[in-house]
Structure formats: C-alpha cells, structure tokens
Structure 1
C-alpha cells in the first residue's frame, strides 16, 4: 500500500506543522514581535506546505514528490530562521522539527 511508503513523511510533516503552528503562536506573544516577523512568516509558510504535503501523500497525488521537494526547501528555510532565535524553546523545538521534516521530505522526493 502506498500509504505505508508515505507514513514516515506524513508523520514528520504533521509534527513539523504542529511545531510551526505552536512557534507561530508563541512568537506573537514575544515582547519584540517585530524582531520575530521573519520567524512568524516562515512558520506560516512551513505549516501550510506541510499540510499540503500531507494531503498530497494521503490522496496519492501525482505531484506528491514535487510537493515534498518544495516542502523540504521551505522546512529548511524555516528551521534556519527559527535557529536564529533558539534562545526561545518554541523556536528551538520548531527548528528541530523543520530540519527532521526537510530530511524525510528530501528522501521522499528522491
């Protein structure tokens, strides 16, 4: 079954989406929200592409590999942005989830 092949990637995308949504919400509550603007923006982009990747894999889209390749790029960028704010737990956790998702998505897209 196709879903088994995708399951690790679906799980990584889901974990990343949750981490990004949590980071996004926490960033909005930081004292210097302006300083967190790029982090907030990449969190949104990353959560959205992870949701799309999950949907593509679950529906066995013929574009799943290309979507996962793009997801890997966006996750990598989000992870790098969050890493800049790793003194915040939410950003550190988000960066870890993003880098893991990027790695799994790259394997899926290969």
Structure 2
C-alpha cells in the first residue's frame, strides 16, 4: 500500500467513498505524480541533447503533461470533493495529455529519458482510464 493510498484511507471522507474508487483514486494519483516527475526530468534531459531542435516538441509535450498531471493529482487528493463533471473532465484531460505526450516522445525512445517518459505516460493514461470507469 502506497503512502497515497494510506493517506486517502486516513481521510475523514474515506468511509463515504466506495473502496474501489479509493483504490482507483490512489492509483491515479500515484501514476500522475510519477508521470509528472518522468516528464519534468525528460524535458530537462532533452535540453542537454546535442541537437536540441529535434526535441522541442517533445519538451513542450512533457512540460504540459507534467503540469496537467500535477493539477490532476492535487484535485484528486481532495477526497472530500465528489466526482463532479469538472473532476471527470480533468481526469479525461490528463488521460489525453498523457496519450499526446507518449505519441510525441515515441519517435525519440532510443533516448532513454524519452522512453521513460513515454512509459510513465502510458501508465498514467491507463490509471486515468481506470478511474473514469470506477466513477461510472
């Protein structure tokens, strides 16, 4: 059990939140935070590449993805907030940002930092999709 899951269980609103949703929320928060870190590090690593112009789109996608993932993790951490339409829209936006970033990073996967970011985006996108299903 991760610290995120433990903190969600300790939240006073936890009994009002279905267990499956808590698990999906915790997994999504963990994936969002991991993805944000991989994308931030990946974007920074892209800055060090010899032909930086080849990585410009990748860096922008990674930075945007990281920002969206961090915002999503922050909102999902508010367990007392119901799964309103805007929360669902944010999770869907995160899923889409991860898919877009993964697509942009894929051509650069020979560079390990891009491969790591693409893999983190894949995991995060999947966690977002699973959370959306749990909300239904």
Q: Which 5+ residue runs of structure 2 have no aligned equivalent?
A: 1-13
Aligned partner of residue 30 in structure 1, secondary structure: coil
Aligned partner of residue 128 in structure 2, secondary structure: helix
CA distance in 1, matches of 2:30, 2:109: 23
TM-score (norm 1): 0.93
Q: Contact between 1:19 and 1:97, CA under 8 Å: does it hold in 2? A: yes
User: CA offset at residue 65 of structure 1?
Assistant: 1.7
Asked if residue 104 in structure 1 is aligned to residue 122 in structure 2, the reply is no
Q: Which 5+ residue runs of structure 1 have no aligned equivalent?
A: none
Q: Give per-residue Cα distances to partners, 1:67-98, cap 9 Å, x unaligned.
A: 01110001001011111100100000110000
Q: Contact between 1:53 and 1:68, CA under 8 Å: does it hold in 2? A: yes
TM-score (norm 2): 0.76
The equivalences for 1:1-110 within 5 A come to: 1=14, 2=17, 4-5=22-23, 6-60=25-79, 61=81, 62=84, 63-110=86-133
How many residues of Structure 1 are paired with residues of Structure 2 in the alignment?
A: 110
Runs of 4+ in 1 over 4 A off after TM superposition: none
Q: Contact between 1:66 and 1:109, CA under 8 Å: does it hold in 2? A: no
User: CA offset at residue 109 of structure 1?
Assistant: 2.1
From the CA coordinates, give the structure whose radius of gyration is larger: 2
Aligned partner of residue 109 in structure 2, secondary structure: coil
CA distance in 1, matches of 2:118, 2:131: 20
CA RMSD of aligned residues (A): 1.3
CA distance in 1, matches of 2:132, 2:48: 35
CA distance in 2, matches of 1:22, 1:64: 27
